[in-house]
């Protein structure tokens, strides 16, 4: 017999046997238990319970933007896309340059100063937009950041003492930067005023792909959030107490601590093993995930409407979108159109997913059936041999 019915039957007997004070306490207990039972399912996400989801059910609108092509702005390999005040900032990793386009795809400017001078660089690892000081930041992995104004004019070079490595850069406020590093600590807080690292968090256990701390931080509502590896929690890093912003609950499928510890032990053995030609440690790591863990959260993101997580789950990637308005989880591996949003570098501006035409299956960024006639014309006119790629921009529901 269900718990609620047993409680109700007991409640009827209590009406006959107890005084009013006891009856009040009993009713209060019954009410609290009923609330717990009724709300428990809203917090749990059932992995493997994929539904049929259309991308059109998740968005308000979409755009296709053909980027201008000329000798100054030919794009090679894009690693990251940012959007700020009507401008797309594309980090071309192979060219080691930042290319800027307006909302119509018209080329605006290029930042590319390779060399050994004060405002030059030999290698770029990441880019960021400082919205507090209206600046473009170019992170050099070996310990410095080049600062430009929004017109691409060089301002200064900031050297970060004892940083070890800058693999990702995020702006917390007008003074502090948050550095994600593949060094001994995953998170570093740097103060420009004090010119030093003021805090280090999350000492690194292992460094085997895909167990990297990269892609796990994002900006939302003037804060930076971070999802620690092996944790279901996403933290607000701007809050000094590092309070939990939200947590994913997979019920009986939550990873057991003992299994996680065994997994880390196996990874340490894998990491310490000398390299053998032809060996693929990435594939071995995925095999260990499937053996020890029910899932691994690759990254989380958030918009005004949704909280999103992408997981390694049963040899595939699982999407979870928690609808904050409807208070329900949407679980799918791909939309019914075959679209996946698995590239966190192209998710920005809170309510946008920016996809690229160069993404290969099974990570399709668009299908012709969801395009308008005008958008199809852009796609059909595209020549991959001579043209810069086009952006597919999804504006998620608000």
Residue 289 tokens read as: 């995930």
Cβ–Cβ under 8 Å, residues 292 and 266 = yes
Mean pLDDT of all residues in 348-366 = 69
3-state secondary structure of 26: helix
Place of tokens 């979409």: 62
Given a cut of 60, is residue 113 above it in pLDDT?
yes
CB atoms within 10 A of CB 149: 12
Confidence (pTM): 0.84
Mean pLDDT of all residues in 97-120 = 89
Mean pLDDT of all residues in 200-222 = 86
pLDDT the model gives residue 3: 40
**Residue 207 and residue 183: Cα distance in Å, rounded?**
9
* Beta-strand pair 306-313/296-302: antiparallel
pLDDT in tens, 27-80: 444 344 334 333 333 368 888 888 899 999 999 999 999 999 999 999 988 889
What DSSP string runs through 296-365?
EEEEEEE-SSEEEEEEEETTEEEEEEEETTTTEEEEESS-TTSB----GGGEETTTEEEEETTPPTTSB-
Cβ–Cβ under 8 Å, residues 329 and 320 = yes
Residue 357 vs residue 194, higher pLDDT: 194
Given a cut of 60, is residue 12 above it in pLDDT?
no
Q: Determine the number of helices (DSSP H) and then strands (DSSP E) in the chain.
A: 5, 24
Given a cut of 80, is residue 280 above it in pLDDT?
yes
Mean pLDDT of all residues in 150-160 = 95
CB atoms within 10 A of CB 53: 19
Cα angle vertex 96, ends 92, 97, to 5°? 65
3-state secondary structure of 130: strand
**Residue 28 and residue 301: Cα distance in Å, rounded?**
39
């Amino acid at each position: 017999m269900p718990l609620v019915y047993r409680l109700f039957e007991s409640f009827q007997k209590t009406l006959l046997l107890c005084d009013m004070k006891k009856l009040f306490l009993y009713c209060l207990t019954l009410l609290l238990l009923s609330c717990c039972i009724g709300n428990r399912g809203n917090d749990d996400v059932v992995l493997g319970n994929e539904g049929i989801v259309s991308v059109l059910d998740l968005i308000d609108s979409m755009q296709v933007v053909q980027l201008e092509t000329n000798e100054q702005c030919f794009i090679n390999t894009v690693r990251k896309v940012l959007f700020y005040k009507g401008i797309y900032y594309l980090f071309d990793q192979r060219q080691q340059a930042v290319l800027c386009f307006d909302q119509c795809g018209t080329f605006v400017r290029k930042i590319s100063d390779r060399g050994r001078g004060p405002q030059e660089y030999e290698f770029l690892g990441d880019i960021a937009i400082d919205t507090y000081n209206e600046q473009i930041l170019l992170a050099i992995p070996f310990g410095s950041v080049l600062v430009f104004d929004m017109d691409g004019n060089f301002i200064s070079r900031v050297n970060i003492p004892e940083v070890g490595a800058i693999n990702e850069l995020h702006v917390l406020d007008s003074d502090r930067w948050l550095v994600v590093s593949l060094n001994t600590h995953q998170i570093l807080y740097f103060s420009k005023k004090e010119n030093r690292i003021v805090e280090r968090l999350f000492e690194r256990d292992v460094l085997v792909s895909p167990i990297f701390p990269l892609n796990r931080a994002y900006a939302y509502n003037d804060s930076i959030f971070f999802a620690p590896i092996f944790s279901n929690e996403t933290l607000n890093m701007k809050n000094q107490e590092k309070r939990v912003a939200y947590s994913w609950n997979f019920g009986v499928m939550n990873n057991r601590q003992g299994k996680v510890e065994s997994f880390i032990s196996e990874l340490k053995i894998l990491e310490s093993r000398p390299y053998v030609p032809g060996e693929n440690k990435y594939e071995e790591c995925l095999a260990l995930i499937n053996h020890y863990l029910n899932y691994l959260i690759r990254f989380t993101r958030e918009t005004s409407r949704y909280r999103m997580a992408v997981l390694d789950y049963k040899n595939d990637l699982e999407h979870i979108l928690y609808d904050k308005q409807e208070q329900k989880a949407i679980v799918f591996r791909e939309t019914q159109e075959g679209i996946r949003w698995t590239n966190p570098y192209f998710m920005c501006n809170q309510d946008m997913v920016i996809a690229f035409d160069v993404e290969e299956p099974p990570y399709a960024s668009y299908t012709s059936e969801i395009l308008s006639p005008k958008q199809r014309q852009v796609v059909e006119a595209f020549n991959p041999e001579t043209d810069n790629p086009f952006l597919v921009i999804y504006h998620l529901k608000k």
